[in-house]
């Protein structure tokens, strides 16, 4: 190691207790990629924004729990899926315990779609894409679409009558648009690998980005209740709100 | 767990309405979704204390 | 979990904060909200619900159809399918890409765009050889009469072969079975009759399942060939019809037995039930429905940018119910100050 390591604490300064402050690079290090990435990350999502312990007072409806219920379902899907992976794809046909874990996996998928669709309905009727939250909506919608793909490959991986029928039918749709040439639903090995690795990774990554975006922007405000001409008069009379701060919601 | 308490492996029951054909199981799920959504909107979400 | 905490001096009133723009940070009243606790509770609830549903309802596991079952359950259909594989008129033989090149037809198109053809043949399947001749050659190693029939067939002209198979297609519609013997009405079937009887015998013993599965390097996980062969017949489809899984039964949404299926596929399968996809456009229905669904999925993703669609929440004011407490407090707040009720 070099003898000339820059010691930021050379003057006896202790590391700052404020995590945002602590993330600042030492003088001269600002151009480092690491410092820049860290700075951008911390500016976008300081700890108190990443895991806030407060929410705006309008976050007070049972509709707000559907997102977390979907995510919780996803976790149960993963956990039950891992058990099925550990024992291999034929286990659930040969063992009652295996069948039980397959059942947990199936029902957690039903719950996942159940709550995800309710979450979609709720967010739609709240117009939750307002205020620069379009990307949050979009990542959610894409997650929905890819989840359908993940479930589809799951059905194909069952190695029973269901997967025989689904694969021989679905092949026509996919072949008709050329996708079937590369994505062969009759190929169990390929479908199983997509199902246990590629698609869960895509879904998980998208959910992660979606959650970070929700935290970054915060929960969208209620739609304004239009009160006709009073609304316009009130807007004209009242001083504008201060510009949005990049900082933490306190 | 050995076997299921409720055996769903019998022939499926289907409802027909015009060009729509839907399984009883699916319509139950869909109706449940509507019920749960309406309940979530309607049931008050009481926080611990009054806000003001 | 959520009480009114002490507000910082920078907290504005509800009315003042509500005037802020949608993209500004909320500087109004806040409540305590324990996200981590909420997640843990949700996880426990879902885990318990999943375990309970699994214990109560289990999951379906209908046995797969094997070629052996097919040949025993409906030997007439097996023979009728096999002869079309031999003469190249089966659904697989005439499928086109990705399994083979066409002898006729262009594949499905979306308007002028033929993606099926464009993708090319990437999963080569020669139904005549893969499903009939190659397995028979394996069996012929220990069966001289089968060997002779195969030799007669392969040395005959294409026209002669076609005459035999055409006759067989006609005759197999009236086939009878006496024990294991195949009894066809009188006709000039040439070597095709013993060949296909030989294939039926292989199927009945289960060796055809094994032959079609076996890949060149011993290990295989690709079931393309046996699945295409089985799906060419009507045995699999008959079981599917009984379970309401056919395309015109909204089958995409359904599951075997009384299990809930895939309700989220309702819109995808709906198009197959309605004109013109089920009628005049049916030859290209798969491609057209797929294209339509991709478009609708894109529309769902891009809702924030689609005028009209993005205004529906304002027009169907469920939001007034969701945020009714907030609006009530806002009105009370505004009523107690000089400014009129909230506007954004």
**In the structure, what pLDDT confidence band is assigned to residue C8 with cuts at 50, 70 and 90?**
low
Interval C201-244: pLDDT, tens: 999 999 999 888 776 677 889 999 999 999 999 999 999 999 99
The chain B residue lying nearest A104, using CA atoms, is B1
- State whether A61 and B45 contact (CB < 8 Å): yes
Least CB–CB distance from C23: residue in A142, A188, A244: A244
pLDDT for B36 beyond 90: yes
How far is Cα A40 from Cα A246, in angstroms, rounded to an integer?
11
ipTM of the complex: 0.91
- State whether B37 and A121 contact (CB < 8 Å): yes
Number of B/C CB contacts below 8 angstroms equals 97
Q: Does B41 touch chain A (CB under 8 A)?
A: yes
Give this prediction's pTM. 0.89
- State whether A188 and C223 contact (CB < 8 Å): yes
**In the structure, what pLDDT confidence band is assigned to residue A212 with cuts at 50, 70 and 90?**
very high
Give the position of tokens 């405000």. A221
- State whether A60 and C23 contact (CB < 8 Å): no
- Quote the tokens at residue A206: 């998208």
* Dihedral sign (CA A135, A138, A144, A150): negative
Q: Is the separation of the CB atoms in A48 and A249 below 8 Å?
A: yes
- Quote the tokens at residue C24: 């500004």
**Strand (E) or helix (H) holding C274:** none
The pLDDT assigned to A123 comes to: 98
Least Cα separation, residue C242 to chain A (angstroms): 12
pLDDT, averaged across chain C: 91
Interval B4-20: pLDDT, tens: 789 998 888 999 988 89
Interval A67-126: pLDDT, tens: 999 999 999 999 999 999 999 999 999 999 999 999 999 999 999 999 999 999 999 999
- State whether A62 and B2 contact (CB < 8 Å): no
Name all domains of chain A by residue range, CATH numbers in brackets. Answer: 62-220 (1.20.810.10)
pLDDT for A230 beyond 50: no
The pLDDT assigned to A44 comes to: 92
Interval A215-229: pLDDT, tens: 999 999 999 986 544
Q: Is the separation of the CB atoms in A76 and C50 below 8 Å?
A: yes
A touches which chains (3+ CB pairs under 8 A)? B, C
- State whether C29 and B52 contact (CB < 8 Å): yes
In chain B, where the domains are located: 14-43
């Amino acid at each position: 190691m070099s003898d000339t390591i820059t010691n930021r604490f050379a003057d006896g300064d202790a590391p700052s207790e404020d995590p945002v402050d602590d993330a600042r690079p030492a003088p001269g290090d600002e151009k480092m990629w690491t410092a820049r990435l860290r700075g951008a990350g911390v500016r976008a999502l300081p700890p108190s924004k990443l895991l806030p312990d407060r929410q705006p007072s309008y976050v007070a409806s049972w509709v707000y729990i559907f997102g977390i219920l979907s995510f919780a379902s996803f976790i149960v899907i993963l956990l039950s899926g891992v058990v099925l992976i550990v024992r291999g794809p034929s286990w659930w046909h040969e063992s009652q315990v295996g069948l039980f874990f397959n059942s947990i996996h199936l029902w957690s998928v039903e719950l996942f779609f159940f709550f995800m669709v309710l979450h979609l309905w709720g967010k739609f009727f709240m117009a939750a894409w307002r205020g620069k939250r379009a990307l949050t909506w979009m990542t959610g919608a894409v997650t929905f679409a890819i989840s359908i793909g993940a479930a589809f490959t799951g059905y194909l991986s069952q190695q029973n009558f269901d997967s025989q029928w689904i694969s021989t039918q679905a092949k026509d749709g996919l072949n008709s648009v050329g996708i079937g040439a590369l994505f062969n639903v009759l190929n169990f090995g390929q479908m199983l690998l997509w199902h246990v690795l590629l698609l869960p990774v895509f879904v998980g990554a998208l959910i992660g980005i979606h959650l970070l975006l929700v935290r970054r922007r915060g929960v969208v405000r209620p739609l304004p209740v239009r009160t006709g001409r009073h609304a316009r008069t009130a807007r004209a009379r009242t001083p504008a709100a201060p510009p949005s701060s990049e900082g933490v919601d306190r | 767990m050995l076997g299921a308490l409720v055996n769903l492996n019998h022939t499926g029951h289907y409802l027909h309405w015009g060009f729509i054909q839907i399984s009883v199981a699916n319509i139950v799920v869909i109706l449940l979704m509507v019920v749960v959504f309406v309940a979530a909107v309607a049931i008050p979400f009481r926080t611990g204390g009054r806000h003001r | 979990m959520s009480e009114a905490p002490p507000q910082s001096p920078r907290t504005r009133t509800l009315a003042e904060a509500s005037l802020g723009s949608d993209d500004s940070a909320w500087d109004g009243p806040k409540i305590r909200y324990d996200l981590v606790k909420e997640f843990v509770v949700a996880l426990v609830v879902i885990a318990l619900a999943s375990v309970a549903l699994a214990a109560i309802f289990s999951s379906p596991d209908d046995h797969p159809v094997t070629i052996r079952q097919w040949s025993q359950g409906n030997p007439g259909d097996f023979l009728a399918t096999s002869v079309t594989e031999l003469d190249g008129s089966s659904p697989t033989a005439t499928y086109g890409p990705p399994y083979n090149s066409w002898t006729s037809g262009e594949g499905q198109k979306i308007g002028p765009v033929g993606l099926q053809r464009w993708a090319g043949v990437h999963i080569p399947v020669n139904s005549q050889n893969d499903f009939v001749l190659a397995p028979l050659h394996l069996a012929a190693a220990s069966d001289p009469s089968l060997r002779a029939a195969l030799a007669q067939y392969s040395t005959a002209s294409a026209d002669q072969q076609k005459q035999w198979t055409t006759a067989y297609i006609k005759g197999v519609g009236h086939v009878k079975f006496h024990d294991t013997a195949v009894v066809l009405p009188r006709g000039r079937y040439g070597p095709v009759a013993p060949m296909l009887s030989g294939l039926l015998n292989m199927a009945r013993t289960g060796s055809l399942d094994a032959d079609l599965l076996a890949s060149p390097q011993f290990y295989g996980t690709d079931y393309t060939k046996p699945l295409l062969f089985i799906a060419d017949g009507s045995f699999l489809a008959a079981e599917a019809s009984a379970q309401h899984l056919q395309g015109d039964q909204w089958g995409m949404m359904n599951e075997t037995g009384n299990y809930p299926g895939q309700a989220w596929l309702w819109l995808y399968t709906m198009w197959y039930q309605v004109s013109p996809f089920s009628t005049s456009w049916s030859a290209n229905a798969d491609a057209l429905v797929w294209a339509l669904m991709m478009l609708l999925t894109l529309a769902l993703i891009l809702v924030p940018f689609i005028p009209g669609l993005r205004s529906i929440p304002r027009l169907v004011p469920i939001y007034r119910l969701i945020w009714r407490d907030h609006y009530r407090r806002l009105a009370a707040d505004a009523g107690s100050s000089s400014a009129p009720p909230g506007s954004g």
